[in-house]
Amino acid sequence: MKKTALAVSLGLACLTPLNTYATTYLSAKAMVDVNSGKLIKSPLISIDNGQITAVQSNKQPNLKDGDKHIQLPELTLLPGLMDMHVHLTSDPTVPRSERIGQSIPRKAIKAAHFAEKTLYAGFTTLRNLGAEGYSVIAVRDGINAGDIVGPRIWAAGPSLGVTGGHCDNNRLPPEMKYTAEGVADGPWAVRAKVRENIKYGANAIKFCATGGVFSKGTKVGIQQYSQDEMNAIVDEAHLRGLTVAAHAHGTSGIKAAIVAGVDSVEHVSFVDDEAIKLAKKHGTWFSMDIYNTEYTLAFGEQNGVAEENLNKERQVSKKQRDSFSRAVKAGVNMVFGTDAAIYPHGDNAKQFSRMVEFGMTPLQALQSATINSAKLLKADNQLGQIKNGFLADIIAVKGNPLENIAVLEDVQFVMKDGKVFK
């Protein structure tokens, strides 16, 4: 069976699967309708050429020669999960001082390994927000070509950032004269950098609006790009049909990014009422990684994380979770984004229980990783639901995630484009 070809144009994906079996039928104990929040008993899903052609219940398939019937009588079906913020090239167990010495080909191999691991964890779609040397774009293209196994990926190239900012590399001495490849200063320079990302295959754009936790010498809450620069980045990306993500911990950077028209704000640690009102007014999506702080504070020191970065994590963690609760209560658009790479890839689903703990219902948490993420990617007519006409990205778990969201941490079955991977 051939894998789906994913052609990238204007930031969107041509998601028509290639010919496979005549018909595949998939039945299970139950299915979650993530749109209505209903649990449907005894579903029967019909799949042709990687696309869902019928969703029924309490039916038996009429099998013809060549048809397949996959039976999961003890499991509950859900759409494939989606994580809108990962970094597949990074391994949290490798100290950052060692990562500096890793080549781009080595990072691409890491990314391929972690992509496969994440797919087996039930995440059939990812958005990779920044990687050196266009390495994850190469991995994405390899997955689409059938060379390797992994989720479908929306991939940014090198993250845009100011000189000396969070998306630069400040760990080398000045005589090395090193500048990260995504650095650009000034409105026309950032436009050129967006164009360069697109030239080499990016189908998403990411920039750093504020300082960050894991960079050297940056203050988490301090704005970096000016309003004019952010406006230019977003305008250029939107001209070419790409969505834009802004890394922003600090309040002024969050607001400036929203005003600039970004599609999503990442982290959103220090939010205030005005920022929440702006997000609701503009329809901006918040992507808030509220699990990884636990891993960093528990294992960061033994993984070689510097004390400067651990201190910044301590400053951010509670504030970010408080901001998450406020945003949920206010009804801000929310997607599922974990910043996987700060903690081990494949553990992405551990964030669901924290989202529920800090204010979401299980259904809201599940929607953030399905229909909401599909809307952010502008692919909500093909991804994010088990529905007639949608791609057959389907997972299965034991139990009912609407009652216990933690069951998503142990995915038993993974199908992408109608092909079973687990």
Residue numbers annotated as active site: 206, 339
C-alpha–C-alpha distance, residues 385 and 352, integer Å: 18
Phi/psi zone of residue 400: left (φ > 0), alpha (ψ -120 to 50 degrees), beta?
Answer: beta
| Segment 57-60 long-range contacts (CB within 8 Å, at least 24 positions apart) | 57/31
State whether residue 142 is helix, strand or coil: helix
> Which stretches of 261-306 are DSSP H helices?
273-282, 292-299
State whether residue 30 is helix, strand or coil: strand
C-alpha–C-alpha distance, residues 279 and 268, integer Å: 11
20 CA to centre of own chain? 28
CB within 8 A of 130, min separation 6: which ones? 87, 156, 157, 158, 159, 167, 182, 206
The CA dihedral of 246, 293, 321, 242, to the nearest 10 degrees, is 20
C-alpha–C-alpha distance, residues 220 and 51, integer Å: 44
AA letter at 101? G
Q: How many C-beta atoms surround the C-beta of residue 228 within 10 A?
A: 13
How many CA within 13 A on the CB side of residue 129?
25
Across 112-270, the runs of DSSP E, i.e. the strands, are 123-128, 152-155, 205-208, 244-248, 264-267
Find, among 379, 307, 419, the residue nearest to 20 by Cα.
419
AA letter at 182? G
C-alpha–C-alpha distance, residues 236 and 205, integer Å: 10
C-alpha–C-alpha distance, residues 419 and 422, integer Å: 9
State whether residue 346 is helix, strand or coil: coil
AA letter at 264? S
